[in-house]
């Protein structure tokens, strides 16, 4: 796991070594073990290294291939690099790591090399002969990659803060990026919070040559159609187990010890159980424990640790620890996000225990219909008859809900849904996952005034309507989750919060082969009879019943009370500062803050928190 940076001058002028160093130093937390630079006429590349595979200095980057033609900077891991290496017989390898395999694969197959890779990655390769720059991001969007283009330069980096450190970019907010943030608590591609800085889409690559930029999507999860007969339920379960085990095995490839988050829930318990099966090494597990019973899940984690004979570490935290770490967590945020504080605190605690790589159970809910949104959407589709009414009638029904309802978020969502042309996933998902509605954003900000209000997520889902409609209903929701909350909030927060403390997190449930297979499974097989029943039954008898049928707890901390008490002065200062910004309707924002403090249920703490987090980020990064 590392941090990468680069500057390409379209006119071939000498790149500034001091600028690429400033950019790379801004990502030092991503790679504390080594740094490296390549500077030549027209191009500069930088790299920060967190040593995981082949710990020798020979594997440091930027990495140059045998011929001297290609120069690469690489962030991430190629889990199947040994398999790929066997297919490259005409290259003399000098290291034992995945970096050299990647660049050798590019030298052999060019951009088509991506089809051979299984892993999480973002990399850039400079071709000295063609004077072209090739950039690529992994299929699931686990590793970030940002870029900026003006008339003279192309800049890229693993983090926004590195691009800003170049001092070549105006620190102005992006209207489209802010609309995404207020809608979904994070910002999806292609936008960011900064005007001009863009995100490369997951499963995409870019070729930059002669000042021209050509982008290509090389993988689309809505197009996955494995050749398999799902009529045989037992063979389907067997295949799920094989793919889960394969995914875990891939993520154990490391030259440093690999630990695992163990909450005691279904997802993390399966990962730990398969770790014990996949390796002779004793698994190292970590659980965050609390004295307060309403938060504590440590008894379940201990049960799994005992069953699989893990080297178990229980880290006792007070809920107040999350408050104490809040300033550090907010400072760690590279791309504005209203979530992720939990990820930071847990990652920091594990890193303090000497672990550099940890497996996580995130992703099981997306694959096996574990989130409430799966049942919510299925219930909504059972009301398809609603959209057979004329639009005027549905508008009347929506308006009447304001008079009869409580004016809460649930009522507001139903009103929006009634006004849709239909209840398809592309239309409904953005509403089911929103934090602030379009109406609320327009009431509190001057963003997009006088223009049609549509988010990038809505555009993408509508653009994939035909492909989504062809998928099983539960898989439609999974796909929407991957394209929405999962990529832009869950995975992004996991990366930025863990890398802030130099911890590499690997997610077995985000494996390409596993995802493609499970998304093709028909609903009659996948529909849960109890939480994630298909996955549980596929790995039987791996989990004890106490784990499968336990009541889910999780980090449900009293944020609403904290915002009104311990965090009140912290929030109030930032709300007042935000109210002064020219894209905010300050009086209305301050009124909302007062209503929240009075306990008005129409204003949720999560809505207030959006403005607090964003203001903190804007101030820290000196953004106008």
| Active-site annotation, residues | 2
Q: What is the 3-state secondary structure (H, E, C) of 426-489?
A: HHHHHHHCCCCCHHHHHHHECCCCCCCCCCHHHHHHHHCHHHHHCCCHHHHHHHHHHHHHHHHH
Give the list of residues 6+ apart from residue 106 with CB closer than 8 angstroms, or none.
65, 70, 72, 113, 125, 134
Q: Which two tokens stand for residue 549?
A: 């049928």
What tokens appear for 465 in the block? Answer: 């309507």
| Contacts (Cβ under 8 Å, ≥6 apart) of 316 | 289, 290, 291
3-state secondary structure of 197: strand
Residue 288 backbone zone (phi > 0: left; psi -120 to 50: alpha; other: beta): beta
Q: What are phi and psi of 565, to 5 degrees?
A: -125, -90
Cβ neighbours, 10 Å, residue 147? 23
Report cis status (omega within 30 of 0) of the bond before 151. Answer: no
Token reading at 545: 């019943």
CB of 307 closer than 8 Å to CB of 262: no
Candidates 71, 2, 65, 75; CA nearest to 37 is 71
Backbone angles phi, psi at 75, to 5 degrees: -120, 125
């Amino acid at each position: 796991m590392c941090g990468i940076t680069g500057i390409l001058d379209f006119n071939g002028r000498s790149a500034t070594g001091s600028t690429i160093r400033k950019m790379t130093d801004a990502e030092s937390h991503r790679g504390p073990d080594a740094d490296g630079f390549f500077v030549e006429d027209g191009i500069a590349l930088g790299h920060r290294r967190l040593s995981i595979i082949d710990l020798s200095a020979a594997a440091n980057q930027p990495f140059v291939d045998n011929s001297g033609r290609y120069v690469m900077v690489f962030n991430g891991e190629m889990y199947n690099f040994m398999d790929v290496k066997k297919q490259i017989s005409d290259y003399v390898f000098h290291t034992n790591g995945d970096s050299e395999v990647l660049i050798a694969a590019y030298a052999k197959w060019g951009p088509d090399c991506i089809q051979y890779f299984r892993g999480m990655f973002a990399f850039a390769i400079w071709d000295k002969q063609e004077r072209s720059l090739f950039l690529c991001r992994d299929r699931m969007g686990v590793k970030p990659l940002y870029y900026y283009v003006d008339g003279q330069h192309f800049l890229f980096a693993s983090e926004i803060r590195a691009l800003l450190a170049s001092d070549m970019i105006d620190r102005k907010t992006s209207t489209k990026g802010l609309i995404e943030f207020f809608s979904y608590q994070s910002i999806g591609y292609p936008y960011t919070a900064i005007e001009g800085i863009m995100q490369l889409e997951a499963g995409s690559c870019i070729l930059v040559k002669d000042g021209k930029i050509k982008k290509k999507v090389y993988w689309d999860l809505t197009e996955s159609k494995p050749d398999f007969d799902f009529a045989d339920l037992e063979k389907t379960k067997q295949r799920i187990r094989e793919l889960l085990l394969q995914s875990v095995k891939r993520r154990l490839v490391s030259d440093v010890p690999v630990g695992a988050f163990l909450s005691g829930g279904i997802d993390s318990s399966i990962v730990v159980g398969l770790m014990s099966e996949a390796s002779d090494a004793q698994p190292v597990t970590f659980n965050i424990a609390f004295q307060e019973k309403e938060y504590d899940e440590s008894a379940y984690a201990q049960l799994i640790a005992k069953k699989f004979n893990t080297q178990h570490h229980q880290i006792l935290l007070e809920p107040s620890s999350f408050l104490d770490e809040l300033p550090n967590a907010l400072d760690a945020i590279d791309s504005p996000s209203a979530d992720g504080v939990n990820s930071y605190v847990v990652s920091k605690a594990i890193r303090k225990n000497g672990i550099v790589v940890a497996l996580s159970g995130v992703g099981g809910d997306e694959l096996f219909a574990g989130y409430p949104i799966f049942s919510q959407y299925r219930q909504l589709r059972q009301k398809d008859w609603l959209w057979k009414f004329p639009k005027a009638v549905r508008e009347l029904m929506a308006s009447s809900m304001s008079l009869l309802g409580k004016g809460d978020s649930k009522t507001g969502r139903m009103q929006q849904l009634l006004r849709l042309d239909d209840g398809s996933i592309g239309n409904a998902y953005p509403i089911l996952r929103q934090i602030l509605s379009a109406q609320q954003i327009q009431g509190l900000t001057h963003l997009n005034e006088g223009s049609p209000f549509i988010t990038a997520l809505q555009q993408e889902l509508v653009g994939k309507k035909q492909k989504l409609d062809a998928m099983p209903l539960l898989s439609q929701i999974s796909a929407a989750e991957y394209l929405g909350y999962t990529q832009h909030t869950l995975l992004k927060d996991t990366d930025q919060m863990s890398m802030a403390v130099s911890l590499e997190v690997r997610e077995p449930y985000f494996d390409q082969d596993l995802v493609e297979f499970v998304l093709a499974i028909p609903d009659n097989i996948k529909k849960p009879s109890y939480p994630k029943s298909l996955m549980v039954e596929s790995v039987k008898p791996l989990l004890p019943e106490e784990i499968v049928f336990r009541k889910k707890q999780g980090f449900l901390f009293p944020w609403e009370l904290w915002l009104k008490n311990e965090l009140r002065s912290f929030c109030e200062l930032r709300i007042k500062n935000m109210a002064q910004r020219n894209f905010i309707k300050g009086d209305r924002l301050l009124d909302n803050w007062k209503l929240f403090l009075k306990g008005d249920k129409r204003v949720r703490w999560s809505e207030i928190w959006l403005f607090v987090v964003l203001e903190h980020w804007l101030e820290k990064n000196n953004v106008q």
